[in-house]
Amino acid sequence: MPEWLRLRRAQPIPAEDAAQWTKCPKCSEMIYRPDVATNLWVCPRCQHHFRMHAFDRISMLVDSDFTEIGGDLLPGDPLGWTDKVPYPQKLDRDRAKSKLTEGVVCGFASIGGFPVALGVMDFNFRGGTMGTVVGERIAQLFEQARDRRVPCVVFTASGGARMEEGMLALMQMAKTTLAVRRFHDDGGYYISVLTDPTTGGVSASFAFQADVIVAEARAAIGFAGRRVIEQTIRQKLPDNFQTAEFLLEKGALDVVVERRDLKALLMRLLDYGVGAKQASNGRAAVTPAAALPSPSETRA
Amino acid sequence: MNVIVEREKGLLELEQRIAALKAQAAQQPVDMGGVIQALEAKYAEIQREVFGTMTPWQRVNMARHPKRPLGSDYLAAFDQFDELHGDRHFHDDHAIIGGFAKLRGRRVMAIAQDKGRDTREKVMRNFGMPAPEGYRKVTRLVALAEHLRLPVVTFIDTNGADPGIGSEERAQAEAIAQSLYELADAQIPIVATVIGEGGSGGALALGLADRVLMLEHSVYSVASPEGAAAILWGDAARAEEAASRLRLTSDDLLQFGIIDEIVGEPLGGAHRDAGGTIARVLDAVDAALGVLVKVPLPDLLDRRYMKFRRIGAPVS
Ligand SMILES: [Zn+2]
């Protein structure tokens, strides 16, 4: 079991966060952080869903253990990118700040007894942008899920493609799509959970390629950034524009869920997708074709 | 303001002077051969100086040149083209033109983004920025091509997908994701060519192909330079700086293994010889198809998978 998961299991509130007060960005209420943490990072007063750290998310979902894959894959600096600071420095800074090695954590676990491949993106790391490592980890997750014949659950949170990796970042949309498609065509079952925010290249690839697309309540979801659209049309957009509820209304999502109901929903969704297959496989084994009446017998 | 158009102004003046002198020489007995030759030499020198090496920003402007051949110009150069309209659900998006076509005798499905030439056409084609219906048209036509075993040929030229209220309401992200998803496993060869601007996911939605060609002075980038500058620095005006960092030229992308082949342009850009350039692109597409149609299907799909799978494999 990873150290971070053991710590969260042993003591749900990280010591470093204890005795901290924070202001809810939605209702502006000063709230005690441990209270928010024990409430699944939901404001006890207004139900605002805080963006979750990938480790907290995984800890909230998995039954016991989590085996990470691809954690040792680290980004290079393919473009030799420098603006205010060199790209490698930005990565170092985000690593220190987020305790993550990249913008997604992938691995294997079980949720409510169902073995799953689980990927969780984290907005704390370069805005959850997809570069080569995020693309590679997601592709590996789907490839290994296909080999192990387990469903795949991916939580998205992303500002889109990572500019500092240029076209190599954009191409991760193609890479992840190919992996998702292969997994699906081989009978794989994929549930995506769109969390705040899911935009750009991630929304336009694996986020919207799932068999069932779930979104967390009030998450911002879209392709183009809100600011870009406002600048293009030169007017303010309504508050509910590009929210999960807005897209549900437009028919783009299967279901929108409050965080407190999320795990139970996932378990039911996994049961529909995996349970029926197991049951039908079981039936096939006990009911061989020979035992069925032949067409002529049926007619007679 | 297009920086290439600006630079062409001086050349245009010279061009006119040479033409005038030639006309004069034809009428008068005075020998002006020496003067004309000197002017022509000067013209060639300036042209080399202006276009011999271009900065990434100049290439962006060349890709956006008002006279650059557009998607519809390429489609018009096929032996035959029969447009198939619409997404079958909502709308016929004119930013993407698609249909049955014959290329050097071969039946194909041809799909092109088009920015429009004059103002009326630009508006009609939404300046080449497809709405979800454009991508859903692609998905539908690729499925049809697969059904009929027709190879797919795409031409990419867009600043990016349409950033509008309606496009978001009708799930632009889903439309692009599904176009990619369809191309990922389409059981026919796919050849994509970047002919102008390849801007972000809106371009890639036509670019998941077995072979990716690029016209020499086209650009292909993670976001348009303006978009990248806005995302990075909150200032779209820093587009030139973004262009210089994004590595969006055909040479860069060939080096990264993101494209497979560069189709050369005449000195001064594709519009200096539109017909010749289009013919060279179509020859290259035809040659690529000739190779791909002979590859057994399972191998074709495996190679397509690996082609993108290995892009940007990070250090471990
Ligand atoms: Zn609150």
pLDDT per residue of chain B (316 residues) written in tens, 0 to 9: 899 999 898 888 888 888 888 888 888 777 777 888 888 898 888 888 888 889 999 999 999 999 999 999 999 999 999 999 999 999 999 999 999 999 999 999 999 999 999 999 999 999 999 999 999 999 999 999 999 999 999 999 999 999 999 999 999 999 999 999 999 999 999 999 999 999 999 999 999 999 999 999 999 999 999 999 999 998 889 999 999 999 999 999 999 999 999 999 999 999 999 999 999 999 999 999 999 999 999 999 999 999 999 998 766 5
Domain ranges of chain A: 1-50, 51-274
Residues B172 and B194 in one domain: yes
Residues B135 and B12 in one domain: no
Could you tell me if A201 and B164 are in contact, meaning their C-beta atoms sit under 8 angstroms apart? no
**CB contact (8 A) between residue A208 and residue B177:** yes
Q: What is the CATH number of the domain that holds B109?
A: 3.90.226.10
Q: What average pLDDT is seen over chain A? A: 90
Quote the CA–CA distance of A123 and A68 in Å, as a whole number: 19
Pairing state between β B96-103 and B152-158: unpaired
Q: For ligand 1, an ion, list residues with CB under 5 A.
A: A 24, 26-27, 43, 45-46, 48
Residues B298 and B151 in one domain: yes
What is the pLDDT confidence band of residue A286, given thresholds at 50, 70 and 90?
very low
Quote the CA–CA distance of B103 and B53 in Å, as a whole number: 33
Identity of the residue in A83, A139, A247 whose CB atom sits nearest the CB atom of B171? A247
DSSP state for residue A164 in the 8-state scheme: G
| Burial (CB count within 10 angstroms: exposed 0-12, middle 13-18, buried 19+), residue A199 | buried
B82 contacts: CB under 8 Å, gap ≥ 6: B99, B100, B101
**CB contact (8 A) between residue A83 and residue B174:** no
In this prediction, residue A16 carries a pLDDT of 59
Lowest mean pLDDT among A23-37, A61-75, B84-98: A23-37
Domain-located, residue B124: yes
Q: Which helix (H) or strand (E) holds A215?
A: strand A212-216
In chain A, residues 158-177 whose CB comes closer than 8 Å to chain B:
159-163, 165-175, 177
Angle at CA of residue B244, ends B239 and B250, nearest 5°: 110
In this prediction, residue A12 carries a pLDDT of 63
- Given a cut of 70, whether residue A18 has pLDDT beyond it is no
| Burial (CB count within 10 angstroms: exposed 0-12, middle 13-18, buried 19+), residue B118 | exposed
- Expressed in angstroms and rounded, the spacing between residue A25 Cα and the centre of ligand 1 is 7
In this prediction, residue A297 carries a pLDDT of 42
| Domain limit, last residue, from B35, B52, B69 | B52
Residues B145 and B25 in one domain: no
Quote the CA–CA distance of B310 and B316 in Å, as a whole number: 14
In this prediction, residue A293 carries a pLDDT of 44
In this prediction, residue B148 carries a pLDDT of 98
Number of domains, chain B: 2
The letter for the amino acid at A291 is A
Residues B78 and B44 in one domain: no
Domain-located, residue B160: yes
Could you tell me if A224 and A192 are in contact, meaning their C-beta atoms sit under 8 angstroms apart? no
Token representation of residue B156: 């990419």
- Given a cut of 70, whether residue A263 has pLDDT beyond it is yes
Q: The domain containing residue B27 runs over which residues?
A: 3-52
| Domain limit, last residue, from B52, B70, B89 | B52
A285 contacts: CB under 8 Å, gap ≥ 6: none
In this prediction, residue A291 carries a pLDDT of 41
Work out the minimum CA distance from A137 to partner chain B, whole angstroms. Answer: 10
Please report, rounded to a whole number, the percentage of residues in chain A having pLDDT higher than 90: 76
Residues B132 and B213 in one domain: yes
Pairing state between β A152-158 and B80-83: unpaired
In this prediction, residue B100 carries a pLDDT of 98
Residues B21 and B170 in one domain: no
With an 8 Å Cβ cutoff, is A200 touching chain B? yes
- Expressed in angstroms and rounded, the spacing between residue A276 Cα and the centre of ligand 1 is 40
With an 8 Å Cβ cutoff, is B223 touching chain A? yes
Domain-located, residue B17: yes
In this prediction, residue B31 carries a pLDDT of 77
CATH number for A51-274: choose from 1.10.3720.10, 2.40.30.60, 3.90.226.10, 3.40.1180.10.
Answer: 3.90.226.10
The pTM of the full predicted model, rounded to 2 decimals, is 0.93
- Given a cut of 50, whether residue A296 has pLDDT beyond it is no
- Of the candidates A108, A131, A138, A254, which has an alpha carbon nearest to the alpha carbon of residue A194? A254
- Given a cut of 70, whether residue A15 has pLDDT beyond it is no
